[in-house]
Amino acid sequence: MQGLQWPGLFHILASRPRKIKSLRITGVGSSIELLNATGRRLHDFSNSLGLPFEFVPLEGKIGNICSDLNNISSDLNNLHNNMNNLNNMSIDLNNMNNNLMNKLGVRSDEPVVVH
């Protein structure tokens, strides 16, 4: 089951005195069906907490989706989670396409959150 890493963050955000305006998660994976199912579960859970939520599913490999990331706003705070690949990291962040890194908001000297 995908998406199990997010409920804790959802609870923290929902319990803050200052409510967030929006929460968007972009999920990348090899199966659009699994991504859509994950998005539905997360949407249902966020609704139960009163969190505004949007899930954007992107089917494919992270290195091949640059054009699909054009709708990620540069004024957003980004959190990057690569839970499934931590012990087999196939992405070399030092050599990754700079355009992709910029779209994802990954800056080697400015990490926001690593989960």
pLDDT of residue 22: 84
Residues in a beta bridge with 40: none
Q: Is 55 exposed, middle or buried (0-12, 13-18, 19+ CB in 10 A)?
A: buried
Alpha carbon distance 43, 37 (integer Å)? 10
pLDDT of residue 21: 85
The model's pLDDT over 22-36, given as tens digits with 9 standing for 90+, comes to 888 888 888 999 999
pLDDT of residue 40: 96
The model's pLDDT over 58-112, given as tens digits with 9 standing for 90+, comes to 888 766 665 555 555 555 555 556 555 444 444 454 444 555 555 555 555 444 4
Radius of gyration for the alpha carbons in the chain, expressed in angstroms and rounded: 14
**Domain spans of the chain, in order of start:** 1-60, 61-100
